[in-house]
Amino acid sequence: MRQRPDRGEVATYIPELARVDPQAFGLVVIDADGSVAAGGDSDVAFSIQSISKVFTLTLALGMVGDRLWRRVGREPSGSPFNSIVQLERERGIPRNPFINAGAIAVTDVILSGHQPREALGEILRFMQFVADDPSIAIDERVAASEQRTGFRNSALANYMKSFGVIENPVDFTLGVYFHHCAIAMTCRQLAKAGRFLAHSGRNPATGHFVVQPERARRINAVMLTCGHYDGSGEFAYRVGLPGKSGVGGGILAIAPGKASIAVWSPGLDEAGNSHLGRIALEALTKRMGWSIFGV
């Protein structure tokens, strides 16, 4: 897989991400018994970017429950991840928690009642808890790089603020958002972090219930329908699993009851999803018969 020449384009709009080696490729599968299959650069940390939104969604649902859905929808957007068009028509309520506008609104919910540093600490600790790995950290250079150039996210946040959808000062909310997107993880850490979603809310490694089974099922549903932006239909068609991509080139995919899978290849397709990552997942699910839609 890593020899394939058709790798897509590395994200350059966050300058620090443009420095990543486009040849990198890693894949980790952890099955229900905890057996780990790892290949390629599976222990190289990369910027998880929007994959962090799965975990901020989980955290925000834990804090405010279903009230979260007053601030953000759960329908696919059919628009690029950083699009602003739909916000005007729908009065500042983002379509779903995975497009940038929706994730910024979710971050704002986590921030309310806290200082930005506390909220960020909470998100990072949650990530360390679900991955059962206290060494997970934020790549400050990536965060600073996005903070300097994130004009579009700033526009989204200010626009939502005008509708009263953002409660906190926009710079605070964006600061926390840019930093959680800049969490660096390896495929191995990410696959560990996803295990609770593959096993009805419980991480089999620690025995901890991270969320109730119903919530895990629903987060998986949102990943399936919205996790790849306007490439979500194609991902469901080809891979057939709930998945969440990030512009760092990572994808977390969940085979319910069977496995948690993380793949990383930095080259992206037009929708901003890892090109080779998707191809690798398609081959894997086909081989294993893991698509939720049947073999």
**In angstroms, what is the minimal distance from the CB of 53 to ligand GLN?**
8
Nearer to ligand GLN, 229 or 290 (CB): 229
Nearer to ligand GLN, 20 or 181 (CB): 181
**In angstroms, what is the minimal distance from the CB of 62 to ligand GLN?**
22
263 belongs to the catalytic site: no
Residue 177 among known ligand-binding residues: yes
Nearer to ligand GLN, 127 or 215 (CB): 127
Residue 13 among known ligand-binding residues: no
237 belongs to the catalytic site: no
The number of residues in the chain equals 295
**In angstroms, what is the minimal distance from the CB of 247 to ligand GLN?**
4
Helix and strand element counts for the chain (H, E): 12, 10
Nearer to ligand GLN, 41 or 146 (CB): 146
Catalytic site residue from 177, 244, 263, 265 = 177
Q: What is the largest CA-CA distance in the chain?
A: 49
145 belongs to the catalytic site: no
28 belongs to the catalytic site: no
Annotate 71-111 with three-state secondary structure. Answer: CCCCCCCCCCCCCCHHHHHCCCCCCCCCCHHHHHHHHHHHH
Nearer to ligand GLN, 166 or 247 (CB): 247
- Cβ neighbors of 90 (< 8 A, separation 6 or more) are 73
Catalytic site residue from 28, 72, 239, 247 = 247
- Closest listed residue to residue 178, CA positions, set 221, 149, 207, 213: 149
Distances (CA, A) of 80 to 33, 84, 125, 259: 37, 9, 30, 29
Distance CA 152, CA 158 (A): 10
Nearer to ligand GLN, 100 or 220 (CB): 100
177 belongs to the catalytic site: yes
- Closest listed residue to residue 57, CA positions, set 166, 185, 216, 175: 216
Type of residue at 20: V
CB atoms within 10 A of CB 151: 9
At which residue do the structure tokens 């992206």 appear? 268
Type of residue at 29: V
Catalytic site residue from 10, 28, 29, 53 = 53
**In angstroms, what is the minimal distance from the CB of 295 to ligand GLN?**
31
**In angstroms, what is the minimal distance from the CB of 21 to ligand GLN?**
18
**In angstroms, what is the minimal distance from the CB of 164 to ligand GLN?**
22
Residue 159 among known ligand-binding residues: no
DSSP-assigned states of every residue in 232-284? HHHHHHHT-S-EEE-TTSEEEEEETTTEEEEEE--EE-TTSSBHHHHHHHHHH
**Applying CB under 6 A, which residues contact ligand GLN?**
49-50, 81-82, 100, 146, 153, 181, 246-247, 272
Give the residue nearest to ligand GLN (CB): 50
Binding residues for substrate: 50, 100, 146, 153, 177, 229, 247
- As annotated, the active-site residues are 50, 53, 177, 229, 247
Binding residues: 50, 100, 146, 153, 177, 229, 247
